[in-house]
Structure 1
């Protein structure tokens, strides 16, 4: 465990427990990994460390599901992914320049916004206009860099429409994978990605695979209303817990 010497036992314990739970939710729904994990992990690590460690785990996980992405994802995911890459570096630079307590507070608010978005009424199956799609991509990129959370704009875009659940899941997984890779690249380029953060992300990845696999077993076996309610409850609890801890 010498490669994790830069972290305390308490930090590692929090990271292990939170990662396993977030990975289960991600396997069940196709989203929620960063939204759930960042507010918790950022309380034990610095926000930059938390964001980059999660990007490492999310990027590796997406690579294991590339066949699902190519087979089932909606074409809009290509445009959104490209714009995520554009917006990620500015978001990460903003995070690095923001005081840690302020960053933690803003990250918790982002998580809370995802909870609110899940509660919005569902729309038709038609793909939104190009301007809306572009706004989703750019905002998801900024949130990827600042909070490892491309989900708040992306999740309502897909889950809020009457499209097949597998299409929504595959599209989100693909976008989140590109977002994670963009986050890693941006962190390396601006010099904030440290070796200990890479080591932590790699060490936690087997837990991500396990939790995601367990969650995937439940995918499609629960009703749409049940899984939306379950995820919404967990998202709200994670955001509120982070806000209460900060206050």
Structure 2
């Protein structure tokens, strides 16, 4: 596994570009899932902190074309509570990541993406009442998982989607929470001394195909056809997750 992105082969670079575009497409469809598509692919050729930093900087710019619409729909109270939990627990996840070998990280990312896909496909949700304190705890769980595996979405998606809210509000709140996570992660990685310039540059470059994917996904998305677009997103997540498992070796 190379220590810097410029040691990648043309084919490896091409796969990362494609993963960035399709990650943006999925996020434009659903408001989440960018990491579930991009990270299983990137983890095959980049070290853990490099893959997460690349994805984070890519995600900071990718959603910009659909940010205004999301801000008008977001549940701002829930967004604040989710971000507070993330602030508190994200450093713990990053510390744990420093103790994990790269091959374990790659396997964990693929398995987590498949597990999340299975839960979503089966329609499993938390059916109880989601209190304000629970929302903060969910943000904390997302921060911890985002630090150790680069995937903050699963706790928020599984619990938040149980709330009886319109699809547009759920989609916007999840999207803006993930954007907030990206900003926090950059700050914490700087504090951990993990802001490597090469991977930061790769993330900025991947923001271009990712932004294109977001624009296409946001333009195509229609709330009344949510199940159709969600099905496309699930297929892309499955392909990315399976590609990173050792079953192909």
Return the TM-score normalized by structure 2.
0.88
Which of 154, 157, 173 matches 2:156? Answer: 154
Per mean C-alpha deviation after superposition, the further-off stretch among 117-126 and 198-207 is 117-126
The residue number in structure 2 matching 1:89 is: 91
Q: Could you tell me which residue of structure 1 aligns to residue 50 of structure 2?
A: 49
Residues 178-187 or 236-245, more deviating: 236-245
Describe how 1:1-247 pairs up with structure 2 within 5 A. 5-62=6-63, 65-74=66-75, 75-121=77-123, 128-220=130-222, 223-245=225-247
Partners of 2:229 and 2:127 lie apart in 1 by: 19
Q: In structure 2, do the counterparts of structure 1 residues 148 and 68 end up closer, same or farther at CA, with 3 Å as the change threshold?
A: farther
Confirm or deny: 8 A CA contact 1:58 1:177 kept in the other structure.
Answer: yes
In 1, Cα distance between the equivalents of 2:18 and 2:182?
A: 21
Distance 1:124 1:15 in 2: 34
Q: How far apart are residue 170 of structure 1 and its match? A: 0.8
Which whole-Å CA distance do the structure 1 matches of 2:175 and 2:169 have between them?
10
- Bigger shift: 64-73 or 35-44? 64-73
Contact persistence 1:63–1:177 (CA under 8 A): no
Is the CA contact (8 Å cut-off) linking 1:144 and 1:180 kept in structure 2?
no
Considering only aligned residues, what root-mean-square deviation do their CA atoms show, in Å? 2.5
Q: Which moved more, 1:65-74 or 1:93-102?
A: 65-74
TM-score (norm 1): 0.88
Unaligned runs of 5+ in 1: none
Q: Distance in 2 between matches of 1:201 and 1:4?
A: 10
